[in-house]
Protein backbone atom coordinates (compact mmCIF):
# COMPACT_ATOMS: atom_id res chain seq x y z
CA UNK A 1 0.00 0.00 0.00
CA UNK A 2 1.44 3.42 -0.88
CA UNK A 3 2.43 5.80 1.89
CA UNK A 4 1.40 9.43 2.27
CA UNK A 5 3.90 12.24 1.65
CA UNK A 6 7.14 11.93 3.57
CA UNK A 7 10.58 13.53 3.82
CA UNK A 8 13.47 11.83 1.94
CA UNK A 9 15.97 11.24 4.78
CA UNK A 10 19.64 11.15 3.77
CA UNK A 11 21.95 8.13 3.95
CA UNK A 12 25.39 9.79 3.62
CA UNK A 13 27.09 12.41 5.85
CA UNK A 14 26.26 16.00 4.88
CA UNK A 15 29.23 17.94 6.25
CA UNK A 16 29.05 21.56 7.39
CA UNK A 17 28.03 23.16 4.09
CA UNK A 18 25.67 20.32 3.26
CA UNK A 19 24.07 20.67 6.68
CA UNK A 20 23.65 24.41 6.18
CA UNK A 21 22.02 23.89 2.78
CA UNK A 22 19.72 21.20 4.17
CA UNK A 23 18.74 23.26 7.20
CA UNK A 24 17.85 26.30 5.11
CA UNK A 25 15.85 24.20 2.65
CA UNK A 26 14.11 21.84 5.09
CA UNK A 27 15.36 21.23 8.65
CA UNK A 28 14.19 17.61 8.48
CA UNK A 29 16.76 16.94 5.76
CA UNK A 30 19.33 17.06 8.58
CA UNK A 31 17.92 13.75 9.86
CA UNK A 32 19.67 10.64 8.50
CA UNK A 33 17.60 7.60 7.60
CA UNK A 34 19.52 5.72 10.31
CA UNK A 35 17.64 7.81 12.91
CA UNK A 36 14.50 5.78 12.15
CA UNK A 37 16.34 2.57 13.12
CA UNK A 38 18.96 3.47 15.76
CA UNK A 39 18.34 4.59 19.38
CA UNK A 40 21.01 7.31 19.27
CA UNK A 41 23.44 8.85 16.78
CA UNK A 42 26.38 11.16 17.52
CA UNK A 43 28.76 13.25 15.46
CA UNK A 44 30.57 16.53 14.97
CA UNK A 45 29.34 19.06 12.42
CA UNK A 46 30.86 22.33 13.53
CA UNK A 47 30.10 21.23 17.11
CA UNK A 48 29.38 17.97 18.90
CA UNK A 49 25.83 16.66 18.62
CA UNK A 50 23.73 13.69 19.71
CA UNK A 51 20.46 12.69 18.04
CA UNK A 52 18.21 10.77 20.45
CA UNK A 53 15.35 8.45 19.47
CA UNK A 54 15.19 6.14 22.50
CA UNK A 55 12.10 6.67 24.71
CA UNK A 56 13.94 6.12 28.00
CA UNK A 57 16.72 8.53 27.01
CA UNK A 58 14.08 11.07 25.98
CA UNK A 59 12.40 10.65 29.37
CA UNK A 60 15.79 11.37 30.97
CA UNK A 61 16.22 14.58 28.92
CA UNK A 62 12.66 15.93 29.10
CA UNK A 63 11.64 14.86 32.59
CA UNK A 64 14.44 13.59 34.84
CA UNK A 65 17.19 16.09 33.95
CA UNK A 66 15.15 18.83 32.29
CA UNK A 67 17.18 21.66 33.86
CA UNK A 68 20.39 20.26 32.37
CA UNK A 69 18.93 20.36 28.85
CA UNK A 70 17.48 23.84 28.20
CA UNK A 71 16.25 24.90 24.78
CA UNK A 72 19.05 25.54 22.32
CA UNK A 73 20.54 28.93 21.62
CA UNK A 74 19.29 28.78 18.01
CA UNK A 75 15.67 28.48 19.21
CA UNK A 76 16.10 31.46 21.50
CA UNK A 77 17.83 33.54 18.82
CA UNK A 78 14.94 32.93 16.42
CA UNK A 79 12.02 33.44 18.80
CA UNK A 80 13.36 35.68 21.55
CA UNK A 81 12.89 39.01 19.71
CA UNK A 82 9.23 38.16 19.08
CA UNK A 83 8.10 36.51 22.32
CA UNK A 84 10.71 37.68 24.84
CA UNK A 85 11.21 35.63 28.01
CA UNK A 86 7.78 34.02 27.79
CA UNK A 87 6.92 30.46 28.78
CA UNK A 88 8.23 29.02 25.53
CA UNK A 89 11.83 30.22 25.88
CA UNK A 90 12.29 31.22 29.55
CA UNK A 91 14.40 28.99 31.78
CA UNK A 92 14.78 28.27 35.48
CA UNK A 93 12.81 30.21 38.07
CA UNK A 94 11.60 32.78 35.51
CA UNK A 95 9.94 29.95 33.60
CA UNK A 96 8.72 28.23 36.75
CA UNK A 97 6.74 31.12 38.22
CA UNK A 98 5.09 31.87 34.85
CA UNK A 99 4.14 28.22 34.44
CA UNK A 100 2.66 28.07 37.95
CA UNK A 101 0.68 31.25 37.26
CA UNK A 102 -0.59 30.19 33.83
CA UNK A 103 -1.37 26.52 34.54
CA UNK A 104 -4.83 27.19 36.10
CA UNK A 105 -5.78 29.18 32.98
CA UNK A 106 -5.60 25.95 30.94
CA UNK A 107 -7.64 23.69 33.22
CA UNK A 108 -10.20 21.44 31.55
CA UNK A 109 -12.99 23.71 32.75
CA UNK A 110 -11.48 26.87 31.29
CA UNK A 111 -10.54 25.19 27.99
CA UNK A 112 -14.06 23.73 27.67
CA UNK A 113 -15.56 27.18 28.29
CA UNK A 114 -13.73 28.43 25.19
CA UNK A 115 -15.23 25.70 22.97
CA UNK A 116 -18.13 27.81 21.63
CA UNK A 117 -15.57 29.99 19.87
CA UNK A 118 -14.23 26.85 18.17
CA UNK A 119 -17.72 25.72 17.16
CA UNK A 120 -18.42 29.13 15.64
CA UNK A 121 -15.11 29.01 13.75
CA UNK A 122 -16.08 25.57 12.39
CA UNK A 123 -19.38 27.04 11.11
CA UNK A 124 -17.60 29.97 9.47
CA UNK A 125 -15.03 27.67 7.90
CA UNK A 126 -17.82 25.45 6.53
CA UNK A 127 -19.48 28.47 4.94
CA UNK A 128 -16.25 29.49 3.21
CA UNK A 129 -15.51 25.93 2.05
CA UNK A 130 -19.03 25.57 0.66
CA UNK A 131 -18.18 28.31 -1.84
CA UNK A 132 -15.59 25.94 -3.37
CA UNK A 133 -17.87 22.93 -3.89
CA UNK A 134 -17.06 21.05 -7.06
CA UNK A 135 -13.52 22.42 -7.35
CA UNK A 136 -10.18 22.50 -5.58
CA UNK A 137 -9.20 24.72 -2.67
CA UNK A 138 -6.13 25.15 -0.47
CA UNK A 139 -7.22 23.72 2.86
CA UNK A 140 -4.03 24.84 4.58
CA UNK A 141 -4.89 28.46 3.87
CA UNK A 142 -8.43 27.85 5.09
CA UNK A 143 -7.29 26.14 8.30
CA UNK A 144 -4.89 29.01 9.03
CA UNK A 145 -7.84 31.41 8.70
CA UNK A 146 -10.09 29.28 10.90
CA UNK A 147 -7.59 28.72 13.69
CA UNK A 148 -6.44 32.33 13.69
CA UNK A 149 -10.07 33.35 14.19
CA UNK A 150 -10.19 31.07 17.22
CA UNK A 151 -6.96 32.21 18.84
CA UNK A 152 -7.66 35.90 18.27
CA UNK A 153 -11.22 35.53 19.63
CA UNK A 154 -10.01 33.83 22.81
CA UNK A 155 -7.11 36.22 23.41
CA UNK A 156 -7.86 39.79 22.30
CA UNK A 157 -11.57 39.41 21.67
CA UNK A 158 -13.07 42.67 20.48
CA UNK A 159 -15.21 44.65 22.91
CA UNK A 160 -16.68 47.63 21.09
CA UNK A 161 -19.21 48.29 23.83
CA UNK A 162 -16.38 49.02 26.25
CA UNK A 163 -14.67 51.38 23.87
CA UNK A 164 -12.04 48.87 22.77
CA UNK A 165 -10.18 49.62 19.57
CA UNK A 166 -10.25 46.00 18.54
CA UNK A 167 -7.31 43.88 17.41
CA UNK A 168 -6.18 44.09 13.81
CA UNK A 169 -6.06 40.38 13.01
CA UNK A 170 -4.69 40.80 9.50
CA UNK A 171 -1.85 43.04 10.70
CA UNK A 172 -0.90 40.67 13.52
CA UNK A 173 -0.99 37.62 11.28
CA UNK A 174 1.04 39.41 8.61
CA UNK A 175 3.66 40.48 11.14
CA UNK A 176 4.01 36.92 12.44
CA UNK A 177 4.37 35.43 8.96
CA UNK A 178 6.91 38.06 7.89
CA UNK A 179 8.97 37.60 11.03
CA UNK A 180 9.09 33.81 10.73
CA UNK A 181 9.93 34.03 7.03
CA UNK A 182 12.86 36.36 7.68
CA UNK A 183 14.30 34.85 10.85
CA UNK A 184 13.55 31.15 11.12
CA UNK A 185 16.13 29.78 8.69
CA UNK A 186 19.32 28.43 10.25
CA UNK A 187 22.49 30.43 9.53
CA UNK A 188 26.05 29.16 9.06
CA UNK A 189 26.91 30.77 12.40
CA UNK A 190 24.25 28.57 14.04
CA UNK A 191 25.75 25.42 12.48
CA UNK A 192 29.24 26.42 13.60
CA UNK A 193 28.05 27.10 17.12
CA UNK A 194 28.96 30.80 17.19
CA UNK A 195 28.04 32.59 20.45
CA UNK A 196 24.70 34.36 20.73
CA UNK A 197 26.36 37.81 20.73
CA UNK A 198 27.65 37.31 17.17
CA UNK A 199 25.05 39.03 14.92
CA UNK A 200 23.11 36.89 12.44
CA UNK A 201 22.60 39.35 9.53
CA UNK A 202 19.38 37.71 8.30
CA UNK A 203 17.73 38.34 11.67
CA UNK A 204 18.88 41.88 12.30
CA UNK A 205 16.24 43.68 10.25
CA UNK A 206 13.16 41.55 10.84
CA UNK A 207 11.74 43.15 13.96
CA UNK A 208 9.91 46.24 12.67
CA UNK A 209 6.57 44.47 12.23
CA UNK A 210 6.99 42.69 15.56
CA UNK A 211 7.59 46.00 17.35
CA UNK A 212 4.32 47.36 15.95
CA UNK A 213 2.50 44.15 16.92
CA UNK A 214 3.81 44.45 20.47
CA UNK A 215 2.66 48.06 20.63
CA UNK A 216 -0.86 47.10 19.54
CA UNK A 217 -0.94 44.23 22.03
CA UNK A 218 0.25 46.47 24.89
CA UNK A 219 -2.51 48.96 24.06
CA UNK A 220 -5.15 46.22 24.07
CA UNK A 221 -3.92 44.89 27.43
CA UNK A 222 -3.97 48.33 29.04
CA UNK A 223 -7.48 48.97 27.66
CA UNK A 224 -8.67 45.69 29.19
CA UNK A 225 -7.12 46.59 32.53
CA UNK A 226 -9.02 49.90 32.43
CA UNK A 227 -12.33 48.49 31.17
CA UNK A 228 -12.42 45.34 33.28
CA UNK A 229 -13.09 41.73 32.35
CA UNK A 230 -15.62 40.71 29.72
CA UNK A 231 -18.91 39.06 30.81
CA UNK A 232 -17.53 35.77 29.49
CA UNK A 233 -13.81 35.83 30.36
CA UNK A 234 -11.38 35.23 27.53
CA UNK A 235 -7.72 34.18 27.71
CA UNK A 236 -6.56 37.73 28.38
CA UNK A 237 -8.97 38.10 31.31
CA UNK A 238 -7.82 34.80 32.78
CA UNK A 239 -4.14 35.74 32.46
CA UNK A 240 -4.74 39.20 33.93
CA UNK A 241 -6.02 37.47 37.07
CA UNK A 242 -3.35 34.73 37.02
CA UNK A 243 -1.02 34.65 40.01
CA UNK A 244 1.87 32.41 40.98
CA UNK A 245 0.57 30.66 44.13
CA UNK A 246 4.09 30.45 45.55
CA UNK A 247 5.28 34.06 45.13
CA UNK A 248 1.92 35.78 44.48
CA UNK A 249 3.59 37.40 41.48
CA UNK A 250 1.39 38.51 38.57
CA UNK A 251 2.40 39.22 35.00
CA UNK A 252 3.33 42.73 33.95
CA UNK A 253 1.96 44.15 30.70
CA UNK A 254 5.16 43.11 28.87
CA UNK A 255 5.02 39.57 30.32
CA UNK A 256 1.34 39.26 29.48
CA UNK A 257 1.97 40.48 25.95
CA UNK A 258 4.87 38.11 25.33
CA UNK A 259 2.90 35.11 26.58
CA UNK A 260 -0.22 36.07 24.62
CA UNK A 261 1.85 36.47 21.46
CA UNK A 262 3.35 33.05 22.19
CA UNK A 263 -0.13 31.56 22.43
CA UNK A 264 -1.19 33.35 19.23
CA UNK A 265 1.85 32.16 17.26
CA UNK A 266 1.85 28.60 18.62
CA UNK A 267 -1.87 28.25 19.19
CA UNK A 268 -3.05 28.84 15.67
CA UNK A 269 -0.11 27.65 13.57
CA UNK A 270 0.19 24.20 15.14
CA UNK A 271 -3.55 23.48 15.08
CA UNK A 272 -3.86 24.72 11.49
CA UNK A 273 -1.07 22.36 10.49
CA UNK A 274 -2.64 19.43 12.34
CA UNK A 275 -5.99 20.00 10.63
CA UNK A 276 -4.41 20.49 7.19
CA UNK A 277 -2.42 17.28 7.41
CA UNK A 278 -5.45 15.43 8.82
CA UNK A 279 -7.59 16.51 5.86
CA UNK A 280 -4.84 15.46 3.44
CA UNK A 281 -4.62 12.06 5.12
CA UNK A 282 -8.39 11.63 4.95
CA UNK A 283 -8.24 12.40 1.23
CA UNK A 284 -5.34 9.94 0.93
CA UNK A 285 -7.42 7.19 2.59
CA UNK A 286 -11.04 7.52 1.33
CA UNK A 287 -12.22 4.47 3.28
CA UNK A 288 -11.07 5.96 6.58
CA UNK A 289 -12.57 9.31 5.61
CA UNK A 290 -15.92 7.63 4.85
CA UNK A 291 -15.90 5.88 8.23
CA UNK A 292 -15.11 9.15 10.01
CA UNK A 293 -17.86 10.91 8.07
CA UNK A 294 -20.39 8.31 9.17
CA UNK A 295 -19.29 8.79 12.78
CA UNK A 296 -19.50 12.58 12.57
CA UNK A 297 -22.88 12.63 10.81
CA UNK A 298 -24.40 10.20 13.30
CA UNK A 299 -23.29 12.40 16.20
CA UNK A 300 -23.79 15.87 14.72
CA UNK A 301 -26.60 15.65 12.20
CA UNK A 302 -26.52 19.03 10.46
CA UNK A 303 -24.96 21.07 13.28
CA UNK A 304 -21.35 21.88 14.09
CA UNK A 305 -19.48 19.92 16.74
CA UNK A 306 -19.36 21.10 20.34
CA UNK A 307 -17.19 20.14 23.30
CA UNK A 308 -19.98 17.81 24.53
CA UNK A 309 -19.59 15.74 21.34
CA UNK A 310 -15.91 14.90 21.84
CA UNK A 311 -16.40 11.61 23.73
CA UNK A 312 -18.57 10.38 20.85
CA UNK A 313 -16.00 11.11 18.13
CA UNK A 314 -13.24 8.56 18.85
CA UNK A 315 -12.23 7.96 15.22
CA UNK A 316 -11.96 11.69 14.54
CA UNK A 317 -9.68 12.00 17.57
CA UNK A 318 -7.56 9.05 16.37
CA UNK A 319 -7.16 10.71 12.96
CA UNK A 320 -5.90 13.84 14.73
CA UNK A 321 -3.48 11.75 16.80
CA UNK A 322 -2.18 9.94 13.71
CA UNK A 323 -1.76 13.25 11.83
CA UNK A 324 0.30 14.50 14.77
CA UNK A 325 2.40 11.34 14.61
CA UNK A 326 3.12 11.51 10.88
CA UNK A 327 3.46 15.29 10.69
CA UNK A 328 4.26 16.67 14.17
CA UNK A 329 4.29 20.51 13.94
CA UNK A 330 7.35 20.66 16.22
CA UNK A 331 9.16 17.92 14.33
CA UNK A 332 12.76 18.78 15.26
CA UNK A 333 13.73 19.98 18.73
CA UNK A 334 17.18 20.81 20.05
CA UNK A 335 18.66 21.27 23.49
CA UNK A 336 22.06 22.42 24.73
CA UNK A 337 23.62 20.25 27.45
CA UNK A 338 24.62 22.23 30.53
CA UNK A 339 26.24 19.46 32.60
CA UNK A 340 28.24 16.30 31.99
CA UNK A 341 25.98 13.33 31.35
CA UNK A 342 25.70 10.00 29.60
CA UNK A 343 23.01 9.00 27.12
CA UNK A 344 22.87 5.31 26.20
CA UNK A 345 26.58 5.03 26.89
CA UNK A 346 27.51 8.15 24.89
CA UNK A 347 29.44 10.86 26.74
CA UNK A 348 27.61 14.19 26.77
CA UNK A 349 29.70 17.28 27.49
CA UNK A 350 28.48 20.75 28.48
CA UNK A 351 27.77 22.69 25.29
CA UNK A 352 26.90 19.63 23.20
CA UNK A 353 23.79 19.95 21.04
CA UNK A 354 21.21 17.27 21.85
CA UNK A 355 18.70 16.82 19.03
CA UNK A 356 15.24 15.36 19.55
CA UNK A 357 14.08 14.49 16.01
CA UNK A 358 10.38 13.95 16.73
CA UNK A 359 9.75 13.26 13.04
CA UNK A 360 12.15 10.28 13.17
CA UNK A 361 10.90 9.14 16.59
CA UNK A 362 7.34 8.97 15.27
CA UNK A 363 8.50 6.91 12.27
CA UNK A 364 10.96 4.68 14.12
CA UNK A 365 10.87 1.06 12.98
CA UNK A 366 11.50 -0.33 16.48
CA UNK A 367 8.59 1.64 17.95
CA UNK A 368 5.86 1.57 15.28
CA UNK A 369 4.46 -1.08 12.96
CA UNK A 370 4.76 0.09 9.31
CA UNK A 371 5.70 3.56 10.63
CA UNK A 372 5.20 5.50 7.38
CA UNK A 373 1.62 4.24 6.93
CA UNK A 374 -1.51 6.20 7.86
CA UNK A 375 -3.27 3.99 10.38
CA UNK A 376 -5.43 5.74 13.01
CA UNK A 377 -6.28 2.34 14.52
CA UNK A 378 -2.86 2.29 16.21
CA UNK A 379 -4.32 4.84 18.68
CA UNK A 380 -7.34 2.69 19.57
CA UNK A 381 -5.60 1.82 22.85
CA UNK A 382 -3.29 4.71 23.80
CA UNK A 383 -2.00 2.67 26.77
CA UNK A 384 -0.20 0.39 24.30
CA UNK A 385 2.02 3.27 23.11
CA UNK A 386 5.15 4.18 25.08
CA UNK A 387 4.60 7.67 26.44
CA UNK A 388 7.99 8.84 25.18
CA UNK A 389 7.62 7.27 21.74
CA UNK A 390 4.90 9.80 20.87
CA UNK A 391 5.74 13.42 21.66
CA UNK A 392 3.70 15.85 19.53
CA UNK A 393 3.49 18.23 22.51
CA UNK A 394 6.74 17.29 24.25
CA UNK A 395 6.59 15.98 27.80
CA UNK A 396 7.85 16.54 31.30
CA UNK A 397 7.48 19.85 33.14
CA UNK A 398 7.66 21.74 29.84
CA UNK A 399 4.94 19.83 28.02
CA UNK A 400 2.91 22.22 25.85
CA UNK A 401 0.54 24.08 28.17
CA UNK A 402 -2.05 24.42 25.37
CA UNK A 403 -2.18 20.75 24.30
CA UNK A 404 -5.76 20.16 25.48
CA UNK A 405 -6.87 23.42 23.84
CA UNK A 406 -5.32 22.37 20.52
CA UNK A 407 -6.79 18.85 20.57
CA UNK A 408 -10.25 20.12 21.48
CA UNK A 409 -10.18 22.66 18.66
CA UNK A 410 -8.85 20.18 16.10
CA UNK A 411 -11.54 17.55 16.79
CA UNK A 412 -14.38 20.12 16.79
CA UNK A 413 -13.35 21.59 13.44
CA UNK A 414 -12.36 18.30 11.76
CA UNK A 415 -15.57 16.49 12.72
CA UNK A 416 -17.69 19.40 11.49
CA UNK A 417 -15.93 19.47 8.11
CA UNK A 418 -15.92 15.70 7.59
CA UNK A 419 -19.66 15.55 8.28
CA UNK A 420 -20.38 18.11 5.57
CA UNK A 421 -17.80 17.63 2.82
CA UNK A 422 -15.93 14.96 0.91
CA UNK A 423 -12.24 15.74 0.35
CA UNK A 424 -10.29 14.14 -2.52
CA UNK A 425 -6.68 14.37 -3.69
CA UNK A 426 -5.89 16.41 -6.78
CA UNK A 427 -3.39 14.56 -9.03
CA UNK A 428 0.05 16.13 -8.89
CA UNK A 429 -0.85 18.41 -5.97
CA UNK A 430 0.17 16.34 -2.94
CA UNK A 431 1.78 18.57 -0.27
CA UNK A 432 5.50 18.37 0.45
CA UNK A 433 6.45 18.24 4.16
CA UNK A 434 8.96 21.03 4.76
CA UNK A 435 10.08 22.24 8.16
CA UNK A 436 11.54 25.67 8.79
CA UNK A 437 10.12 26.53 12.20
CA UNK A 438 7.14 24.16 11.98
CA UNK A 439 6.36 21.24 9.65
CA UNK A 440 4.37 22.88 6.89
CA UNK A 441 2.84 21.52 3.66
CA UNK A 442 4.84 23.30 0.99
CA UNK A 443 2.53 24.36 -1.81
CA UNK A 444 -0.51 24.11 0.44
CA UNK A 445 -3.02 21.28 0.83
CA UNK A 446 -5.05 21.42 -2.36
CA UNK A 447 -8.07 19.13 -2.23
CA UNK A 448 -11.15 18.61 -4.36
CA UNK A 449 -14.26 19.49 -2.35
CA UNK A 450 -17.64 17.86 -2.90
CA UNK A 451 -20.81 17.55 -0.80
CA UNK A 452 -20.70 14.74 1.76
φ, ψ (nearest 5 deg) of residue 45: -135, 85
**Pick the catalytic residue: 147, 183, 262, 270?**
270
pLDDT in the model for residue 45? 79
Which pLDDT belongs to residue 209?
65
**Which of 52-56, 72-76, 235-239, 272-276 is predicted least confidently?**
72-76
What are 450's strand-pairing partners? 422
Residue 345, helix vs strand vs coil: coil
pLDDT for 441 equals 96
Residue 164 has pLDDT above 50, yes or no: no
- CA–CA distance, 62 with 58 (Å, rounded to integer): 6
pTM over 0.85: yes
pLDDT at 91 over 90: no
Please name the helix (run of DSSP H) or strand (run of DSSP E) that holds residue 48, with its range, or none: strand 47-52
The count of other CB atoms within 10 Å of the CB of residue 49 is 18
Q: Is 320 in contact with 278 (CB distance < 8 Å)?
A: yes
- 53 vs 161, higher pLDDT: 53
Q: What percent of the chain has pLDDT over 90?
A: 64
- Cβ(160)–Cβ(58) under 8 Å? no
For residue 189, name the pLDDT band (cuts at 50, 70, 90). Answer: very low
SS3 87: coil
Mean pLDDT on 208-213:
71
- Is a pLDDT exceeding 60 seen at residue 433? yes
> Which pLDDT value is given to residue 216?
77
Give pLDDT tens digits for 121-157: 999 999 999 999 999 999 999 999 999 999 888 887 6
pLDDT greater than 90 at residue 102:
yes
Least confident range from 149-158, 175-184, 221-230: namely 175-184
Q: Which of 156, 400, 405, 438 does the annotation list as catalytic?
A: 400
* SS3 call for 98: helix
Please say whether the beta carbons of 83 and 65 come within 8 A: no
pLDDT value at residue 218: 86
- Least confident range of 90-99, 212-221, 416-425, 432-441: 212-221
Split at pLDDT 50, 70, 90, the class of 97 is very high
Other beta carbons within 10 angstroms of residue 15's beta carbon come to 11
- Closest alpha carbon to 249 in 239, 257, 260, 258: 239
Least confident piece of the model among 39-43, 193-197, 295-299:
193-197
Provide CB contacts within 8 A for 180, sequence distance 6+: 436, 437
Which of 91-95, 229-233, 312-316 is modeled with the greatest confidence? 312-316
Please tell me which residue, 231 or 365, carries the higher pLDDT value.
365
CA distances from 432 to 7, 181, 373, 380 (A): 8, 18, 16, 28
Q: Does 201 score more than 70 pLDDT?
A: no
CB-CB contact of 280 with 4 (8 Å) = yes
Q: What is the dihedral of CA 26, 27, 33, 37, to 10 degrees?
A: -140
The verdict on whether 393 is a catalytic residue reads yes
pLDDT value of position 269: 86
Helical H runs in 165-310?
169-183, 188-192, 208-227, 235-241, 253-284, 286-300
- The catalytically annotated residue of 393, 405, 421, 423 is 393
Q: Which parts are annotated binding residues for heme?
A: 400
pLDDT value of residue 185: 57
In the chain the domains, ranked by start, together with CATH numbers, are 15-451 (1.10.630.10)
**What rounded mean pLDDT belongs to the chain?**
87
Angstrom distance (rounded) from CA 218 to CA 306? 32
Which helix (H) or strand (E) segment holds residue 449: the answer is strand 446-451
Tell me how far CA of residue 164 lies from CA of 5, 159, 216, 252, 307, in angstroms.
45, 5, 12, 20, 29
What's the pLDDT score for residue 446? Answer: 98
Q: Once rounded to an integer, what is the mean pLDDT over residues 280-305?
A: 98
How large is the greatest C-alpha to C-alpha distance in the chain, in angstroms?
Answer: 63
Q: Residue 74 — very low, low, confident or very high, per pLDDT cuts 50/70/90?
A: low
Instruction: Note the pLDDT of residue 186.
Output: 54
Q: Across residues 227-238, what is the average pLDDT?
A: 84
Q: Percentage of residues in the chain with pLDDT exceeding 70? A: 85
**Is 86 a residue whose pLDDT tops 50?**
yes
Amino acid sequence: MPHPARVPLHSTPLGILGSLKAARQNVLLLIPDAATHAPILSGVTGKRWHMVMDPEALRHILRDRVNDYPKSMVTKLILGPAIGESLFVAEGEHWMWQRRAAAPVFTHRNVASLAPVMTLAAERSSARIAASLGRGADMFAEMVTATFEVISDVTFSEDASAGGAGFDRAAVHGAIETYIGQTAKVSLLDILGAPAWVPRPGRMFATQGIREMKRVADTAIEQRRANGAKPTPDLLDLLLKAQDPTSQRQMSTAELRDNLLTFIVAGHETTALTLSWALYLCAFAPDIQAEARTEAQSVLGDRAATVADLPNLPLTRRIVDEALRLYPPAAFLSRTAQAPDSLLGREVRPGDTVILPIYALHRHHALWDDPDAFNPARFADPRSIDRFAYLPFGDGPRICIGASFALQEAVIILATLLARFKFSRIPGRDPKPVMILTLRPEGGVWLQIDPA
